[in-house]
Amino acid sequence: MKLNIAICDDNKLVLENEKALIEETLKEMGIPYKMDKYQNPENLIKNAWQYDLVFLDVEMDEVNGIVAAESIHNINKECLLFFVTNHEVYMDYAMNEYAFRFWVKPMSKEKLKFGLESALKRLENNNKCIEFNTDRNVVNIPINKIIFICAENKKTTIVTVDEQFVVDRPYKAVKDMINSYFFYESHASYYVNLNYVKAYSPSHVKCGIGNHEYEIHMSRRKYTKFNKYFIDWMGEQK
């Protein structure tokens, strides 16, 4: 697929360097693309509807990147946001504002390549749905809108960004239907979408979006594997 990409940084030199690195990496990967660059985030926001990926500097004079991210998400909820900053202190804020990836400058080619590969998989999965019959009708649930699922006796609760469903199918059957690389088990009864993970510990996972936050169980037995998978998925290791 052809990627529509935007880069936004108010430092012209940094902007050009990032553009060169991203273009070089995309060409090496054989990915067709169209790329636009912005020094003013307000101009980017006006055109946000057309982009698949946006690389955003966090610290900009005109509009802070965290604020810009919220506006972009309101316009284009399918757009994947890559935050790039000089300071790790912004990571918590960025993760709360729909970050697909968060990198401290300068971007490395290894992390960039891994992030682009993950972005392609995410975009390809955006249209995948799971289907269930309810008492009233048939429901199609996009898997990229599912925050997590959990076992409820012989039924399964599906928590999405919009609402919750309790379906008359066992947890493992629903888990197998989703079967996506961006989900991982935190517990024998919980399957969580990594895109909505905000923090985790050996006992809990904090996940959600906006004001909809959940604290779900983390099995101590699963914590080590979960942590490694999450770090690899974020592109911090290769």
Confidence of residue 88 (pLDDT cuts 50, 70, 90): low
Closest of 81, 86, 82 to residue 105, by C-alpha: 86
149-164, pLDDT tens digit by residue? 999 888 999 999 888 9
Compute the CA torsion angle 147, 148, 154, 155 (nearest 10 deg).
0
Domain residue extents for the chain:
3-125, 129-234
Confidence of residue 129 (pLDDT cuts 50, 70, 90): confident
Which pLDDT belongs to residue 135? 65
Half-sphere exposure of 220 (CA within 13 A, CB side): 0
10-29, pLDDT tens digit by residue? 889 989 999 999 999 999 99
CATH number at 129-234: 2.40.50.1020
Confidence of residue 237 (pLDDT cuts 50, 70, 90): very low
The CA-atom distances, in angstroms, between 161 and each of 21, 117, 176, 179, 209 are 34, 24, 20, 19, 7
* pTM greater than 0.85 (yes/no): no
Q: Please give the mean pLDDT across all residues of the chain.
A: 86
Integer Cα distance of 21 and 72 in angstroms: 23
| Length of the chain, in residues | 238
Which pLDDT belongs to residue 87? 60
Averaged pLDDT for residues 186-203: 93
Question: What fold is seen in the domain 3-125?
Answer: Rossmann fold (3.40.50)
Averaged pLDDT for residues 127-148: 83
Confidence of residue 238 (pLDDT cuts 50, 70, 90): very low
